[in-house]
């Protein structure tokens, strides 16, 4: 096992592990609010992945100063993309929370297995 | 004028956002306006489709004059023109149906304007998804389709549809998480978000990143598989499709699950390329899961007693045929998969609209309570029969041609045992559709000795017309399908060249 390569790609490893944690929370928790929290953890892991591959160690913000041009600029596009991703994740979880409120008014509980009993 | 593909998206987006304002002012004008918008977009899509059949070059447009590879590029190619015609055409019929059907099916009548917001938004996002050539733009459209599809389910407002839509939302979000991760990896390797440019870079550098590309393809298949209900990931589908209002069910089952398959197809054949797809093991996975879907989807459908639930499980089975065609991977198998995609969109729309019409007139929803429908609603029952025959794959219907092509092609691709599976799945389809048709015409428990006469359907004309037109479309695809077949051949050759 090549530990050096693993440590050089440490942010990617972390984001994949966090992604897995998020999915496990969504699939195993029966409380609907915890499921939504799991979804948020999962999408945050993807955001971390984008931001970490967009960054270059030693690079500066991509603003061109003609007087003193820098040697290395980072790529602004992944950060820009993930701004869209954050908005999408926000709207999804807002929608999910609204649905949970509605479910609570129908069933009086937010514990998923209880719905089956009330059918 | 018609050379601008962007009008396809704007034409649905602007009326969709104008709808709540209109609903405050004049509530009954929402449905006719939606029909009008769908009609205009259908004509526009037909113009594009006509140009593509006439051998016109693909139409590319750079949005806001940012040229590719930097800006967002949208393109009308043969496959997107076909899907645009299919989406807008079926939307026109379903919008017509929804005018009267929703008066009875929606629990909260005040929110009718909001229903049409998500109705049009879903169409816009589906059109955007099939015509965009930018991968991140595709992700945004996927999310818009997902959220508006969930909203279409929850609009019924009862507790079952709310529960089903939360399940759908959670699983769809997991799916788009996978897709977003894969898009990130693709951008990391290629540095492009435009599909064509990413494909070119990937073709040169693929040998340097073997594991990464496997992971990417797997993530795409899992993500799109959840969203398009590939067999073991179909858990959300029956609840969502069965508990939605019937126009929504027709949209979800006929169109929404299909556009994700189109997106996966475009990713595989534009970005990864045909040669790479043929070598990859993911093709075998699609083959196995498609075959399992054909078998188990039909078996699950067999034991359902609710009519719409049975139709929903049947969708799982029929999606298996499409994935089987993609998995076989030969050009003719992909032609067959596309043929089945088009035919199934028509069949499932017809069946769900029939289910909606039956519950509109008689209030019956169980498969055991459909006696005498063939005489009290003859046109609806006849259309249902045509669509069910097409599901089973009887000759003279569109379903026969697609299943025949798939069977021939599974022989050609040296997987002859799939023929047995196609026949078995067809027989299972017969086993759960024929009892319904039997009850329509041959069971008369109320008055066993009495002679029955055909009456006229007591549903409005705007509900009758879409049902009959989809049934006519199925028969046309089965008898005069050569034109469609030639066009599909052109699509596939465009990609696999």
Tell me, what DSSP letter sits at residue B414?
Answer: T
Q: Is A103 in contact with B162 (Cβ distance < 8 A)? A: yes
Residue B421 CB partners (closer than 8 Å, separation 6+): B291, B294, B295
Q: What is the pLDDT of residue B103?
A: 82
Q: What is the pLDDT of residue B264?
A: 92
Q: Which residues of B touch A108 (CB under 8 A)?
A: none
Tell me, what DSSP letter sits at residue B267?
Answer: I
Reported as a single tens digit per residue, the pLDDT across B424-446 is 999 999 998 998 998 888 877 76
Residue A42 has pLDDT above 80, yes or no: yes
Q: What is the dihedral of CA B438, B444, B450, B451, to 10 degrees?
A: -30
CATH match for A3-57+73-118 among 3.30.1370.160, 3.90.650.10, 3.20.20.190, 1.10.287.3510: 1.10.287.3510
Measured between alpha carbons, how far is residue A16 from residues A57, B176, B217 in Å?
A: 21, 15, 16
Q: Is B162 in contact with A78 (Cβ distance < 8 A)? A: no
Cβ(B13)–Cβ(B59) under 8 Å?
no
The Cα of A90 is separated from the nearest Cα of chain B by a number of Å equal to 11
Three-class SS of residue A29?
A: coil
Q: Is B184 in contact with A23 (Cβ distance < 8 A)? A: no
Helical H runs in B54-111?
78-105
Q: What is the pLDDT of residue B210?
A: 82
Q: Which residues of A touch B170 (CB under 8 A)?
A: 26, 35-36, 39, 96
Size of chain A, expressed as the number of residues it contains: 119
Of B286, B130, B166, the closest CA to residue A103 belongs to B166
Tell me the C-alpha distance between B96 and B32, whole Å. Answer: 8
Q: What is the pLDDT of residue B448?
A: 66
The Cα of B160 is separated from the nearest Cα of chain A by a number of Å equal to 9
Residue A89 CB partners (closer than 8 Å, separation 6+): A39, A40, A43, A44, A47
Neighbours of B216 (CB within 10 A): 24
Tell me the C-alpha distance between B382 and B138, whole Å. Answer: 40
Q: Which helix (H) or strand (E) holds A55?
A: none
Cβ(B279)–Cβ(B192) under 8 Å?
no
Cβ(B45)–Cβ(B92) under 8 Å?
no
Could you read off the pLDDT tens digit of each residue along chain B, which spans 497 residues?
A: 456 888 888 888 999 988 888 888 888 888 889 999 999 999 999 988 888 887 778 888 888 778 878 888 888 888 888 899 999 999 999 999 998 888 887 767 778 888 899 999 999 999 999 999 899 999 999 999 999 999 999 988 888 889 899 999 999 999 999 999 999 999 988 888 898 899 889 888 888 888 888 899 999 999 999 999 998 888 899 999 999 999 999 999 989 999 999 999 999 988 888 888 888 888 889 999 999 999 999 999 989 889 999 999 999 999 999 999 998 888 888 888 999 999 999 999 999 999 999 988 888 888 888 888 888 888 999 999 999 999 998 888 888 888 988 888 888 877 788 888 888 999 999 998 998 998 888 877 766 666 777 787 788 888 899 999 999 999 998 887 777 788 888 778 777 76
Tell me the C-alpha distance between B163 and B169, whole Å. Answer: 10
Residue A119 has pLDDT above 70, yes or no: no
Domain boundaries, chain A: 3-57+73-118
Measured between alpha carbons, how far is residue B258 from residues B4, B62, B229, B341 in Å?
A: 24, 26, 10, 7
Residue of A nearest to B163 (CA): A103
Of B148, B152, B134, B279, the closest CA to residue B214 belongs to B279
Q: Which residues of A touch B176 (CB under 8 A)?
A: 88
Q: What is the dihedral of CA A87, A89, A93, A96, to 10 degrees?
A: 110
Tell me the C-alpha distance between B461 and B463, whole Å. Answer: 5
At residue A1 the predicted structure's pLDDT band, cuts being 50, 70 and 90, is: low
The Cα of B168 is separated from the nearest Cα of chain A by a number of Å equal to 10
* From B154, B170, B181, residue closest to A46, measured CB to CB: B181
Tell me the C-alpha distance between A63 and B53, whole Å. Answer: 48
Reported as a single tens digit per residue, the pLDDT across A56-112 is 888 888 888 888 777 888 888 888 899 999 999 999 999 999 999 999 998 888 888
Q: Is A42 in contact with B177 (Cβ distance < 8 A)? A: yes
- A108 Rama sector, left if φ>0, alpha if ψ -120 to 50, beta otherwise: left
The Cα of B378 is separated from the nearest Cα of chain A by a number of Å equal to 35
The Cα of A69 is separated from the nearest Cα of chain B by a number of Å equal to 23
Any CB–CB contact under 8 A between B143 and chain A? yes
Q: Which two tokens stand for residue B260?
A: 């994700």
Three-class SS of residue B92?
A: helix
Q: Which residues of A touch B143 (CB under 8 A)?
A: 88, 92
Tell me the C-alpha distance between B22 and B120, whole Å. Answer: 14
Which has the higher per-residue pLDDT, B456 or A14?
A14
Cβ(B377)–Cβ(B357) under 8 Å?
yes
Best of B72, B166, B197, B219 to substitute, by most chain A Cβ atoms within 10 angstroms, is B166
Q: Is A46 in contact with B184 (Cβ distance < 8 A)? A: yes
Q: What is the pLDDT of residue B204?
A: 87
Tell me, what DSSP letter sits at residue B107?
Answer: S
Tell me the C-alpha distance between A22 and A36, whole Å. Answer: 10
Complex ipTM, two decimals?
Answer: 0.93
Cβ(B12)–Cβ(B127) under 8 Å?
yes
Q: What is the pLDDT of residue A88?
A: 92
Domain boundaries, chain B: 288-497
The Cα of A65 is separated from the nearest Cα of chain B by a number of Å equal to 22
Helical H runs in B106-158?
112-131, 135-154
Residue of A nearest to B158 (CA): A106
Of B382, B377, B474, the closest CA to residue B90 belongs to B474
* From B147, B166, B184, residue closest to A100, measured CB to CB: B166
Q: Is B177 in contact with A84 (Cβ distance < 8 A)? A: no
Q: Is B140 in contact with A81 (Cβ distance < 8 A)? A: no
């Amino acid at each position: 096992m090549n530990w050096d390569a693993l440590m050089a790609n440490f942010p990617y490893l972390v984001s994949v592990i966090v992604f897995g944690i998020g999915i496990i929370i969504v699939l195993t928790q029966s409380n609907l609010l915890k499921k939504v929290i799991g979804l948020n953890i999962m999408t945050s892991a993807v955001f971390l992945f984008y931001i970490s591959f967009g960054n270059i160690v030693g690079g500066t913000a991509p603003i061109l100063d003609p007087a003193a041009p820098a040697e290395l600029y980072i790529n602004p596009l992944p950060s820009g993309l993930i701004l869209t991703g954050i908005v999408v994740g926000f709207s999804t979880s807002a929608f999910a929370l609204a649905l949970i409120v509605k479910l609570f008014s129908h069933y009086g509980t937010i514990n998923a297995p209880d719905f089956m009993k009330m059918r | 004028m018609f050379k601008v593909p962007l009008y396809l998206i704007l034409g649905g987006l602007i009326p969709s956002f104008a709808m709540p304002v209109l609903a405050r002012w004049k509530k009954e004008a929402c449905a006719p306006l939606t029909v009008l918008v769908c009609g205009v977009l259908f004509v526009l899509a037909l113009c594009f489709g006509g140009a593509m059949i006439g051998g016109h070059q693909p139409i590319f447009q750079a949005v806001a004059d940012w040229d590719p590879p930097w800006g967002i590029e949208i393109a009308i190619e043969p496959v997107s023109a076909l899907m645009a015609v299919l989406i807008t055409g079926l939307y026109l019929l379903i919008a017509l149906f929804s005018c009267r059907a929703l008066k009875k099916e929606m629990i909260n009548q005040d929110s009718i304007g909001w229903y049409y917001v998500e109705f049009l938004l879903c169409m816009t996002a589906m059109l955007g998804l099939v015509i965009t050539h930018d991968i991140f733009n595709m992700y945004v459209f996927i999310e818009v389709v997902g959220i508006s599809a969930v909203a279409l389910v929850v609009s019924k407002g009862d507790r079952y549809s709310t529960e089903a839509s939360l399940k759908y939302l959670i699983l769809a979000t997991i799916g788009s998480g996978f897709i977003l991760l894969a898009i990130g990896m693709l951008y990391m390797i290629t540095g492009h978000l435009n599909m064509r440019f990413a494909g070119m870079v990937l073709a040169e550098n693929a040998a340097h990143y073997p594991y990464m590309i496997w992971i990417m393809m797997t993530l795409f298949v899992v993500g799109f598989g959840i969203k398009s209900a590939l067999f073991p990931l179909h858990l959300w589908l029956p609840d969502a499709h069965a508990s939605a209002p019937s126009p929504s069910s027709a949209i979800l089952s006929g169109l929404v699950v299909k556009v994700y398959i189109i997106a996966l197809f475009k990713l595989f054949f534009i970005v990864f390329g045909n040669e790479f797809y043929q070598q990859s093991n993911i093709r075998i996975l699609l083959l196995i899961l498609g075959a399992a879907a054909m078998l188990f989807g039909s078996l699950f459908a067999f034991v359902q007693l609710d009519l719409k639930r049975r139709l929903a499980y049947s969708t799982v089975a029929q999606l298996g045929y499409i994935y089987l065609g993609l998995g076989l991977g030969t050009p003719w198998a992909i032609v067959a998969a596309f043929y089945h995609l088009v035919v199934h969109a028509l069949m499932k729309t017809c069946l769900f609209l029939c289910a909606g019409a039956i519950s509109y007139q008689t209030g019956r929803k169980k498969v055991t309570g459909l006696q005498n429908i063939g005489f009290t609603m003859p046109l609806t029952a006849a259309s249902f029969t045509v669509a069910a025959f097409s599901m089973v794959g009887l000759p003279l219907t569109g379903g026969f041609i697609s299943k025949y092509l798939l069977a021939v092609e599974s022989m050609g691709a040296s997987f002859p045992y799939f023929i047995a599976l196609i026949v078995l799945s067809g027989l299972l389809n017969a086993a759960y559709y024929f009892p319904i048709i039997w009850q329509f015409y041959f069971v008369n428990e109320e008055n066993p000795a009495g002679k029955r006469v055909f009456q006229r359907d007591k549903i409005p004309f705007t509900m009758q017309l879409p049902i009959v037109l989809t049934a006519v479309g199925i028969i046309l695809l089965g008898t005069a399908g050569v034109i469609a077949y030639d066009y599909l051949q052109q699509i596939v050759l465009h990609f696999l060249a």
